[in-house]
């Protein structure tokens, strides 16, 4: 009896999937959203952003990137884990996803650390998943120079930061504590990254191609974007230095900012940003407020400018398929 039921439902699935649809190629590309530190993929605030994307560009399928299906564990993974493994897993998850695997391309939205992780995903996995437009808000593309993570009175968090600070360049910390993997130390006299950063950084020094041996695939993949838009929060006091959101270097001694375009990473085009800029695809934007104070108007503007059907479309999935996928 049970067997019969499962066979007939299987038949139904096959029939529905095989039935011809007369759908125009008119849905916006699916949107990948990678949340920030401490957040989780199922959070209401994050979903309200996804809903806004779907309202702005109706029919947008939104995928909230996760490292675990359990939201609590997903949130934990924003603090604990090896970014090499997390990004490799996300690369596989997207390729194996029922809906996403059918899409010809994606748009991507990264919040805070999720922004540089999406960039890492594009650099490493860009031959397998085709991202067209990447928008990041308050991300740490040039790393952080200080750990400013805890709310006042959060002793557990203070213990965590103590561990980060005491042994940032240790192998265990680099393999297990997430913010250490985008911590950057620079010799402010010379402006050069320190040896210990270059030797030990598990994530940032690699995806920024700062080591002597450059991975040309990273540059090729990033330059293939249509647009890379970096938003900086004007009054960001959480990200130190906030100019990291624009890929700039800030001298920790006197606060002088060297913009991306005056830096070797751009001038020598280590990761494809210059090439992207030359075709008009690199954008520096600011928004009012402190770290992650998102304004709906700004989001709507971004969504209509970069994530509409004008920026790529596909046939989408219809509601029947959607229901089956959710079964």
Ligand X SMILES: *[C@@H]1O[C@H](CO)[C@@H](O)[C@H](O)[C@H]1NC(C)=O
Catalytic annotation, residues: 112, 236, 291
Q: What is the footprint of ligand X within residues 239-258 (CB under 6 A)? A: 251, 253-254
Spatial neighbors of 267 by CB under 8 A, at least 6 apart, are 261, 274
Distances (CA, A) of 302 to 32, 175, 285, 298, 322: 14, 35, 10, 6, 26
User: Could you check whether the bond before residue 241 is cis, i.e. omega within 30 degrees of 0?
Assistant: yes
Q: Using CB under 6 A, which of 38, 82, 318, 324 touches ligand X?
A: 82
Binding mask 6-45 for ligand X (x = CB under 6 A): ----------------------------------------
Shortest CA distance to 261 belongs to which of 133, 269, 182, 204? Answer: 269
Burial 25-47 (b: 16+ CB within 10 A, else e): eebbbbbbbbbbbebbbbbeebe
16/99 with CB nearer ligand X:
99
Stretch near ligand X under the rule CB under 6 A, chosen from 4-12, 28-36, 98-106, 302-310: 302-310
Told to check if 318 binds ligand X by CB under 6 A, we report no
Q: Is 230 helix (H, G, I), strand (E, B) or coil?
A: strand
Nearest residue by C-beta to ligand X?
A: 175
Strands (E) across 76-226 are located at 106-111, 131-137, 186-187, 192-193
Told to check if 278 binds ligand X by CB under 6 A, we report no
Stretch near ligand X under the rule CB under 6 A, chosen from 6-14, 101-109, 141-149, 306-314: 306-314
CB of 185 to ligand X, least distance (A): 9
Distance of alpha carbon 326 from the chain centroid: 25
Residues that bind ligand X (CB under 6 A): 54, 58, 61-62, 82, 84-85, 124, 171, 174-175, 187-191, 202, 215, 217, 226-227, 251, 253-254, 305-306, 310-312
């Amino acid at each position: 009896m049970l067997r019969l039921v499962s066979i007939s439902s299987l038949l139904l699935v096959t029939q529905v999937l095989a039935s011809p649809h007369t759908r125009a190629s008119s849905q916006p590309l699916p949107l990948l959203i990678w949340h920030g530190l401490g957040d989780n993929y199922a959070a209401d605030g994050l979903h309200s952003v996804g809903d806004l994307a779907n309202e702005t560009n109706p029919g947008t399928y939104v995928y909230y990137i996760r490292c675990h299906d359990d939201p609590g564990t997903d949130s934990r993974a924003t603090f604990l884990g090896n970014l090499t493994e997390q990004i490799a897993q996300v690369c596989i998850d997207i390729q194996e996803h029922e809906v996403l695997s059918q899409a010809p391309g994606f748009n991507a939205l990264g919040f805070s650390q999720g922004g540089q992780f999406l960039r890492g995903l594009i650099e490493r996995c860009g031959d397998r998943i085709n991202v067209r437009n990447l928008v990041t808000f308050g991300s740490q593309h040039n790393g952080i120079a200080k750990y400013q993570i805890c709310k006042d009175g959060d002793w557990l968090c203070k213990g965590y930061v103590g561990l980060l600070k005491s042994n940032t360049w240790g192998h265990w910390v680099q393999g297990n504590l997430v913010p250490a993997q985008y911590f950057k130390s620079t010799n402010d006299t010379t402006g050069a990254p320190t040896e210990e950063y270059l030797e030990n950084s598990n994530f940032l020094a690699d995806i920024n191609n700062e080591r002597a041996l450059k991975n040309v695939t990273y540059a090729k993949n990033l330059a293939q974007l249509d647009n890379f838009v970096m938003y900086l929060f004007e009054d960001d006091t959480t990200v130190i230095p906030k100019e990291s959101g624009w890929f700039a270097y800030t001298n920790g001694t006197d606060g002088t900012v060297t913009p991306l375009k005056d830096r070797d990473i751009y001038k020598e085009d280590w990761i494809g940003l210059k090439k992207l800029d030359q075709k008009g695809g690199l954008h520096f934007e600011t928004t009012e407020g402190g770290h992650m104070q998102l304004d709906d108007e700004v989001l709507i503007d971004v969504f209509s400018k970069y994530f509409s059907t004008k920026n790529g479309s596909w046939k989408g999935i219809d509601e029947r398929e959607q229901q089956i996928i959710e079964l």
